[in-house]
Each structure stands twice: as structure tokens, then as C-alpha cells.
Amino acid sequence: MFLRGARSFAHAASLPEERKGRDVSGAPAQDEPRLQALVRRIQEGDLTAFEQLYALTRADASRTLWHLVGNRVDVEDLLQEAYLRLLTAVKSYRGESRFRTFFYRVCANVALSHLRWKRRRPEDSVWELPETTAEGEDPERAASRRQAARLVELALERLKPKKRIVFVYYELCGMSPDEIAEAVGSSPNTVRSRLHHARLEFNEAMQRLLGASRPGGAHGSP
């Protein structure tokens, strides 16, 4: 139940978009060869290719970092950091994996550093769901969708950084354990273990949040 809610959060917290012909990351499925070609041009010193790479991947990077850190303000700063790191890291990319996996490794490293910093400064944590409504969507339904997304994000905040990244990449980005392992620099078994515990902790957090959101608190109306 709650994991299905987590998957729907990927849509609730993002701008409405056409999904046909796209992979689970939100990027057009046919873009991988194009991205690979741009990487080769960047490695040859063509900075205009990096501008094109940025244009093709920015929306996906913004959505992914949003899921990982849950703060619209932070995302804008982290985007800049991610692309500065990518500009350096792309020189070592040799095409052994999909560019998306390589790119998500950069996003994971940026998000992990930020989440660790934020856990040391909880007073600075500001949760702000972007106000988005699909065209023609009923306002009451839109409000319920935003509330559900908020609950999911609050549950995600209960997870430790490494578990949160694995959970988001698997449940919201649709990556396989092997792909996640490559992106986060770990083993598939470690990823599966983190994912298992993250699911348990996420479901427990959602149960508590849903109980607290009902009239009368966790025990319902008196």
C-alpha cells in the first residue's frame, strides 16, 4: 500500500509530463545514444556539447535531487554542484554503463553529502512541496495528492541517507539493484539489504504519520 504511494509520489511532486516513449527516469528512452555522443564531444573539449547535455538532463536531475533531498530551495544549489562535479567526472566516463547510471552516481554523491549535513542541522530542514496542478485536475483531488506526497516525503526523511537514496532510486526512479549498486558504489547484496530495511522503516513511518493525521491522533476520534 505505502510503496504504491511512494511510486505515485514521483508524479505528485513533479510537474505533469507526457510519459509515452520515456524510460523510468523521465528522460526520452532514445536519448541514451545522443547523450553518449555528447559525452565524447565533451571529452574532446567541446563545451557547447556540455550545454546540450545540461539541457537534456536538467529536468531529470532536478526531479531526482528533489526526491533525494526533499527541498526545492536546496535543489537549485545542488543542481549547480552536480553539474560542476559532472563536468570533471565525465572525463573518466568510458561507457561501461549507461550514462544515466553514471549521472545518478554524481547525483547520489551530491545528495548524500547534503543529507548528512542536513541531519547535523535539523533546524535548517525546510520541507516545501511545489504547488503543481495538472491541467483540468479537480482542486480537491490536487490538494489530496499534495497531502499524500507530503506524507511520503516526511516518511522519507525518517530514513538514513544511504537507505533513502537506495529507496528513491528503486521505488521512484525504477532502477534495478545492480544498477543502483553501480550508481552508489556498493554491492547488489548491500543494496538489497538497505532496500529491505528502508521499506520496513518507510512503512512504519507512514503508519505513524497516517495515524497522527487522523482526528484524535493515532487512536482515531475519541
Q: Both 39 and 116 in a single domain? A: yes
- Clarify whether residues 117 and 166 are in a common domain: no
* Residue 22 falls inside a structural domain: no
**CA–CA dist 107, 155 (Å, integer):** 21
- State yes or no: pLDDT of 185 exceeds 70: yes
State how far the Cα of 110 lies from the Cα of 77, in Å rounded to an integer.
10
Asked if 49 and 115 sit in the same domain, the reply is yes
DSSP state of 97: S
pLDDT at 100: 87
176 within a domain of the structure (yes/no): yes
Residues 33, 116 within the same domain: yes
Least trusted range by pLDDT, from 1-15, 97-111, 151-165, 199-213: 1-15
Please give the residue range of the domain that contains residue 155. Answer: 139-213
Tens of pLDDT, residues 150-181: 788 888 888 998 999 999 999 888 899 999 99
Are residues 184 and 112 both part of a single domain? no
Domain presence at residue 94: yes
Q: Check which CATH number belongs to the domain holding 43 and give it.
A: 1.10.1740.10
Give how many domains the chain has, as a whole number: 2
How many whole angstroms separate alpha carbon 151 and alpha carbon 208? 10
